[in-house]
A and B are shown apart, each in its own frame.
Chain A
Amino acid sequence: MRLSQGAPGAKVLAFGGYQPADVVTNEDLAKRIETSDEWIQSRVGIKERRVAGPQESEIDLAVQAGGKALAASGLAAGDIDLVIVATCTLEAQIPNAAARVAHRLGIAAPGAFDINAACAGFCYALSAASDAVRTGSATNVLVIGTEKLSQWIDWDNRAVSVIFADGAGAAVVVPSETPGIGPVVWGSAGDKSDAIAIKDRASFLEQEGQTVFRWATTALHPVAQLACERAGVDPAELAAFVPHQANLRIIEAIARKLGADNAVIAKDIVLAGNTSAASIPLALSRMIERGEVPSGGLALLLGFGAGLTYASQVVEIP
């Protein structure tokens, strides 16, 4: 038996993001539930979020984001031989999302699988893509985080309805002579599995806000620091810090403790809400579009969420 030969490294060639058209403002929510713009902004930092209508599925969102990343990469659909979709909000559990999204994008017969690590899913999927390229299991990989959280939310429950939203983000991962995706640091805390959950098919998403807040603001900055250390990067060298867009206060608390003094901190949550596995590529694609981060600079990604799960790695910005 022989082993396949991969590339010395892998890198992200392009990112892409997509949000559905319908905007839901804090004022819109305040008409339905006991809340206010001031309350929502002070607790979670969100001004508005996007929600997909009944005609637009999480598969449609993924196709849009994946298509944009593919177009930005300059590669053709036929160049992709592996598609990985990170999602935790699929309406239909069978078949998986990756094969359907690949077919819609005209990608013929790629390897296709989904990853569920909730809001950490994109970082897990990016790590799997990088490893596939480096071992030779795949050449060019399309990685997509997509979520339609709106279909799992009780819009009368203000503990969650003010936070979550819909969207998708994607990355094209290709071989590289030099490392463009650093070693992943990942893990989980299954003792806190009840903290964020959809308990069964008849239930909506529920979250123990204080438990998650305490965990996120105390347990995650060491993970982010370790991801920098394993990549041989000082946090002060980072051009961008792109944590999962969970809550602006969590983002700011982790950023303070990280010591990424020269980095642009992603605050996409303000206009996008919490889009789970989509939030990191969606945020970074928009930062690149706006010219906020330099091509060739280093970005630290940090995903964390239900499970509880977490994953972090340094990537070179395309």
Chain B
Amino acid sequence: MALTEQEILAGLGKIVNEITGIPAAEVTPEKNFVDDLDIDSLSMVEIAVAAQDEFGVEIPDDQLKHLKTVKDVINFIQA
């Protein structure tokens, strides 16, 4: 059964918090990883690897660079 947006958002919030220390509550769909959350490209790789372990969906580097917002990642995982 596909995960809901809320379930993925909760999982992403936990992952972002573990990797960057940013509170999970700040990880909301409209947030831009670079501009709003100040997350750099290497932390994005760590987030992608952790998301793969959590949701079973691989996010390759050539796709990762197009995922600018939290919503973009949710959509990618749901697709």
Contacts and interface: CB of A to CB of B under 8 A. Distances in A.
B44, B48, B49, B64: most-surrounded residue (chain A CB, <10 A): B49
Task: Tell me whether chain A's interface is mostly helix, strand or loop, or mixed.
Answer: helix
Interface string B58-70: 0001001000000
Given A210-B64, A211-B61, A217 B40 contact: no
Interface residues of A, number: 12
B40 A214 contact: no
Contacts of A249: 42
Task: Tell me whether chain B's interface is mostly helix, strand or loop, or mixed.
Answer: helix
B24 to A, nearest CB: 20
Contacts of A208: 61
Interface size class of B (residues with CB under 8 A): 10 to 19
Given A217-B46, A217-B49, A210 B40 contact: no
Nearest to B42: A213
A42 B45 contact: no
Given A217-B49, A218-B49, A253-B46, A42 B61 contact: no
A190 interface: no
A210 B49 contact: no
Contacts of B49: 214, 217-218
A277 to B, nearest CB: 24
Interface string B26-43: 000000000000001110
A43 B61 contact: no
A210 B44 CA distance: 9
A42 B42 CA distance: 10
Contacts of B48: 214
A294 interface: no
A232 interface: no
A210 B41 contact: yes
A213 B43 CA distance: 10
19 contacts: A42-B40, A43-B40, A43-B42, A208-B61, A209-B42, A210-B41, A210-B42, A210-B44, A210-B64, A213-B42, A213-B45, A214-B48, A214-B49, A214-B61, A217-B45, A217-B46, A217-B49, A249-B42, A253-B46
Q: Lowest 8 CB-CB distances: which A-B pairs, in order?
A: A210-B61, A214-B45, A210-B45, A213-B45, A213-B42, A211-B61, A218-B49, A249-B42
